[in-house]
Amino acid sequence: MRFQTRLLTALPLALALSACAVLNPPLNQLRDQGVNETTRATPAGDEELWVGLAFSGGGMRASAFAHGVVEELRVMTARPGDPDGILSELRLVTGVSGGSVTAAYYGLYGAEGVDGYRDGYLVQDGERYMANNPLNPVTIARGLSGGANGRKTFGRFLDEALFHGATFGDLARRSPIITWVNATDVANQTTFLFTPETFDALCSDLASFPISDAVAASAAYPLVFSPIVVDSHQGDCAYRAPDWLTAARYNSEATGAMRAHAAALESYATDPDMRFVKLLDGGITDNFGTTGLAVERARAEAPHAPLSAREALKLSRLLFLVADAGVEQPNDWTTRMHGPGGGQLARAIVQSAMTAASRTGFDAMRLQLDRWQEDLVDYRCSLTLAEVARLRGSAAGWDCRDLKFFVGMVSFDDLGGQMEDRLNAIPTRLALEEAEVDLSISAGRRTTHQNPEVNGFLASTARYGTDRLSAIDAGTARRIAPVGGARQIAPVSSQ
């Protein structure tokens, strides 16, 4: 009672001293002419394999789980003379909130960053600069006013620990990996992608924008953080919406997410009320960060895009793996007549909305990839052997239909039992106990190692097939998921 009395007495004073949330002045610099560059560093590898990874939100738990996925992919495929294994074929990483930290980190550093990520970030205190005491009246007041923490808290920590001043321009110069950081445009209720197309509509220079601030926007959970603010720079450049964007905006067959994205970009350039864009946690609208796939396909001017014609003919196998670090919290109010209370109900509503969005987002992503595979096969089979030889270097052994996509998801639910219960108990925070970090990493590794799509992808390749079939025979991998009419391969013994 004494504490409640002191809190009620202090709260009006706190509100008076901190009448508004922490403000985040816009960082996006004006680009008054031209468009943002889309060229990247040249990929390594032989272009026959293509790997894409998507990391969900979930605070430091999600960052660690995603790291475990990357770590295991390397362990499963590393060989003498090739220590990075399949990570050399990593072409796309996308992430949301805690997952965006890992996505941006690997997008910038690639396989070279694997060994230093745990000690350099995951076991560090990501909340060290944050005002996060729920009993502090000033923190409460700022949270209720829109956000208790600004960009210089978690964003500062990210820059000190991982990114060291790196910008999206540095990312494009250093890395061949397409990297999508996903936030939420609160006003337009849609995903905000830190991509050249988005920054063209904002008359802004993406190359100068700090990676740490983009990731901070992706992880800006409502009330805990104030929105990251972006200036629309409306009327400050001669922006003209590309034809693909206009078509998507008014195409009744386009996905709802794609139409909403197109409408948002249009509003940045033309809506007089859209002076500032306010960004919060990307998980509010797309907890897997897969909206970018729909955008890439919508802007495609050729059936093989976003691949070049040569890449489309070289490609043989594609793996797209989603890492879902979401947890299932027990609802004790389902065991009694009364409840849930207001706070429990609010949390349940938010969680239900995000979970439903994740399910539909994953289904939409699979549909996009299925259509892309069909388009690629149709394109490849429409070419003459002379065209194949010119683009591919040789027509020897050519089979236009020899193209397979493997799309899968790993999650805590794959593990079951006590381990799943322990994982579900890990809080969604930006600082965890070391044991919680290691448990999350272990979960990422185990779910990846036993994932049917991962094993099917590897076993279908000439490079890793023999190794993976041996692992299956030894019982260290569960099974291979067939693609199309492929034969089911069952292990001798299973885990």
Asked if 57 and 98 touch (Cβ cutoff 8 Å), the reply is yes
Asked if 44 and 176 touch (Cβ cutoff 8 Å), the reply is yes
| CA distances from residue 3 to 7, 17, 135, 144, 344 in whole angstroms, order as listed | 6, 20, 10, 20, 23
The whole-angstrom distance between residue 7's C-alpha and the CA centroid of its chain comes to: 40
Beta bridge partners of 182: 96, 193
CB contact set of 376 (below 8 Å; sequence gap of 6+): 303, 304, 307, 312, 315, 403
CB contact set of 210 (below 8 Å; sequence gap of 6+): 27, 155, 159, 163, 165, 166, 167
Q: Which two tokens stand for residue 348?
A: 């349940």
Which of 281, 286, 324, 460 is an active site residue?
281
Which of 18, 56, 63, 97 is an active site residue?
97
Q: Which two tokens stand for residue 383?
A: 């070419």
Asked if 409 and 287 touch (Cβ cutoff 8 Å), the reply is no
Asked if 51 and 319 touch (Cβ cutoff 8 Å), the reply is yes
Helix (H, G, I), strand (E, B) or coil at 488: coil
The long-range contacts involving 377-382, CB below 8 angstroms and separated by at least 24 positions, are 377/401, 377/403, 378/303, 379/302, 379/303, 379/304, 379/312, 380/312, 380/313
281 is catalytic: yes
Asked if 122 and 63 touch (Cβ cutoff 8 Å), the reply is yes
394 is catalytic: no
Asked if 196 and 36 touch (Cβ cutoff 8 Å), the reply is yes
> Distance between CA atoms of 115 and 121, rounded to whole angstroms?
11
Strands 317-324 and 223-225, bridge-based pairing:
unpaired
CB contact set of 263 (below 8 Å; sequence gap of 6+): 188, 190, 249
- Cite the active site residues: 97, 281
